[in-house]
Structure 1
Amino acid sequence: MQRGVTGTFTSSIAGGIACQAFIPNALPPIPPLLFDDKLQARLNEALLALGRLDAIATLLPDTQLFLYGYVRKEAVMSSQIEGTQSSLSDLLLYEMEGLPGVPMDDVQEVSCYVQALSLGVERIRQGHPITFRLISEVHQALMTSGRGIQRSPGEFRKNQVWIGGHRADEATFVPPPANELNACWSALEKFINDDPTPTAAVIKAALAHVQFETIHPFMDGNGRLGRLLIPLIMVEAGVLKEPLLYLSVFFKQYRQTYYELLQQVRTHGDWEAWLLFFVDAITATATQAVATAQALQRLLAEDKARLAPLGRIAGSATQILDALFAKPVSNIIALQAATSLTPATIGKVLDALENLGIVREVTGQKRNRIFAYSGYLTILNQETP
C-alpha cells in the first residue's frame, strides 16, 4: 500500500551543511497493514519455517553446540555488511588466541557482536523488557573494543548524521536530529512492548527493525544492533526458545533490495513490500538453519564411523571429535580441558584425524598448533539461504 511519506521533515545541520532530516511517524502504520492473500500466504510459510526452526532446540542432542557456531556465523555476516573483512575462521582463531588473517579491529568487532547477542538474550531471560536500558547495555557490549570504543558506546548520538553521499544535502537519507531521538525511541519502545495494543512477533520484528534503522540512534553500530533486535524480539515473545534466527546472510545477499525497501517505507509508506521481503528472509533463513543443523549432525555421525580403523585410539578420537563439534577450532590445551586426555594422546589423535582429512592444522607452526574441524566449517560457511 502506498501511504505516502511516513514521517515529517525538519531543517537540520550536518557537517556544516543545511539539510532536511526525517522524523518517522510512530508505529503501527496508519492506515493499518493490508494483509492480502499473497502476503498472508508468505507470512504463513514464514511461521511454519519458524516452527521447524524452534523444533531444532528440542531435536538436537545439545542445542548449545549448534548455537556456538551458528551465532558466530551470524556475527561474521552482520559485521561484513558494515565492511569488516573477518571470516568465521578468523573469529574462531582469535578466540583461541591465534592470529587472524585480517586486521585485529575487524575480528574484535565480530567478537563483540557475539558478546552483545549473548548479553541481550541473558537479560531477556532474566525478565528485562526491551527498553533503552537493555538496548544501551547491548550497544555497550557491541562497542567495547575495535573501532567502536571511541563512538560513545551506550549513548544516543549528540549530533546530526547522514547516510550515503559525501555531503548531508546530497545524502540518501538523513535520520532524525539528535534532539528528537528520545521522543522517537520512546515511541518505538512502546510499540515493542505492546503499548497500547499487542502486535504479533514477526510483524513487530519487521516493523521495529525498519524503525530502528530509520531513527539511527547511535553514532555507530546501528546496523548490527538493528539486526540483533530481530532475534531478541523473537526470544522475548517466545516464538523461539533459542536465538536461532539470523537474517544477515539474506540481507547481505540482497543488500540493494534491502536498502531500497527501507527507503521505500519512508518515502512511500509501502510497509507491505517490506513485509514480503522480511517474511521471505525468515522462510529462507530458518529453512537453511534447519538444513545446516541436520547436515552437521550427519557429518559427526559419518566422521565417527570413519574412526574404527584407528584401533586403540579410536575411543579417544571419538572424544576429540565430540570436543571439536562443540568448538570447531581448538588446540591441545583446550582439548585436554574438554576430554581429560593426555597431551600426548591428543597429539596422536589429531595427527590421525589430519591423515583422515577430518581436521587440518591452521597455523603451520610446530608449537602451539591450532586445529580446525574442516567439514564443520565448510557446512557453516555456506552462505546461500
Structure 2
Amino acid sequence: MKIIEKIDRCHEAISAVRPFEGHMLKQLKDYYRIGLTWSSNAIEGNTLTISETKVVLEDGLTVAGRPLRDLYETVGHGNAYNFMFTLIRENRISTTDIKAMHRLFFKEIDEENAGIWRKEPIIVTGTDYAFPHPGELDGHMSELEDWIAKERSKYHPVTFAGLLHLKFVSIHPFIDGNGRASRLIMNLALIQDGYQLAIIPPVLRAEYNDAIRQYQNKGNPEPFCDFIAERVYETQKEIMRLLHIPLPDIK
C-alpha cells in the first residue's frame, strides 16, 4: 500500500473521533509545540535537548550553559508556532503570514532582518544551488502566493505541503531562518487541511537535506514528498496511540 493510502486510512480513523476541542485540543497543541520546536531547531544546530526545550517553553526558564541564541530560537519558534495555529481555519497562506511567522521567530535574534526579505545574495553550505538574487525575491514570493491560491486543490494535502516546503526553501527569501520558516508553513498547510504535523527528527537530517537537493538539482520532488508523507504518517500513529484509536488495517 502506498504511503498516501496509509495516511488517508489513518486520517479517516482520526476524523471519526473529531472534533478535537477544549482541553484535548490544548493538550495536543502543547505536546507538539515542544516536539516541533525542538526538532526544527535541532536540525539547524540548536543545542537544547527536548527536555530543556520544554523547560524554556512551558516554565519560561533559561537553561544554564546554553548559548543565548539557542534560547531565543526556542522562544521565538514557540511564538511562531502559536501564531501558526491562529491561521488554522483560514484557507490561505500569504506572504504577509510568512513574514509574520518569521518576525516572531527571528526578532530577538536579529530584529533588523526579522520578517524582511533578504537584501543580499546567499550561499548555503552543502549545496551549489543558485538561490534567487535579492532583487528577484518580491516576484518569486508573489508567484508562490499565487501558486498556493490557485494550485492547492490540485494536490493531495500532504503532497501539497511537501511541494510548498520545497518551493519556499528553494527561494530562501530571508537572510536566516529559512529552514524553520519552511517547516512552519508546510505544517500550517497540513493543519489547515485537517492533517497531522510533519516532525523531522534531527537523526534524519541527512536524508531530509538529500531529498531537498534532489529537487533543487534534478527537479524531482517525489523523494521529498514521500519523506514528508512518512513523517505525517508517524505523527498519525502517535496520535492514535495517545488517544487509543485502533490502527486501521493497512496491509
TM norm. shorter chain > 0.5: yes
Structure with more relative contact order (C-alpha pairs < 8 Å, separation 6 or more): 2
How do 1:133-148 residues align onto structure 2 when only pairs under 5 Å count?
A: 133-145=96-108, 148=109
Number of the residue aligned with 2:123: 162
Residues of 1 paired with 2:187 and 2:15: CA distance?
12
Residues of 1 paired with 2:153 and 2:16: CA distance?
29
Number of the residue aligned with 2:230: 280
Deviations 1:330-372 (A, max 9, x none): xxxxxxxxxxxxxxxxxxxxxxxxxxxxxxxxxxxxxxxxxxx
Instruction: Report the TM-score, using the length of structure 1 for normalisation.
Output: 0.57
Shift of 1:110: 1.1
Q: Write 1 or 2 for the structure with the bigger share of helix.
A: 2
Shift of 1:63: 2.4
**2:191 aligned partner, one-letter code:** V
Residues of 1 paired with 2:153 and 2:24: CA distance?
37
Deviations 1:285-319 (A, max 9, x none): 32134334559xxxxxxxxxxxxxxxxxxxxxxxx
How do 1:1-385 residues align onto structure 2 when only pairs under 5 Å count?
A: 41-54=2-15, 58=19, 62-94=24-56, 95-101=58-64, 102-125=66-89, 127=90, 129-145=92-108, 148-150=109-111, 152-164=113-125, 171-195=127-151, 198-237=154-193, 239-240=194-195, 244-249=196-201, 252-292=202-242, 294=244
Change in Cα spacing, 1:128 to 1:43, as seen in structure 2 (3 Å) is closer
RMSD (Å) for aligned C-alpha atoms: 2.6
Q: Which runs of 5+ in 1 are unaligned?
A: 1-37, 166-170, 296-385
Shift of 1:96: 2.4
Shift of 1:259: 1.2
Residues of 2 paired with 1:220 and 1:57: CA distance?
37
Number of the residue aligned with 2:248: none
Shift of 1:73: 1.7
Q: Name the count of aligned residue pairs.
A: 242
Shift of 1:52: 4.1
Contact 1:56 1:63 in 2 (8 A): no
What's the secondary structure of 2:150's corresponding residue? coil
Contact 2:199 2:232 in 1 (8 A): yes
Instruction: Report the TM-score, using the length of structure 2 for normalisation.
Output: 0.84
Number of the residue aligned with 1:299: none
Residues of 2 paired with 1:112 and 1:86: CA distance?
14
Residues of 2 paired with 1:111 and 1:69: CA distance?
15
Contact 1:66 1:293 in 2 (8 A): no
Number of the residue aligned with 1:338: none
Contact 1:143 1:221 in 2 (8 A): yes
Shift of 1:188: 1.3
**2:200 aligned partner, one-letter code:** S
Structure of greater Rg:
1
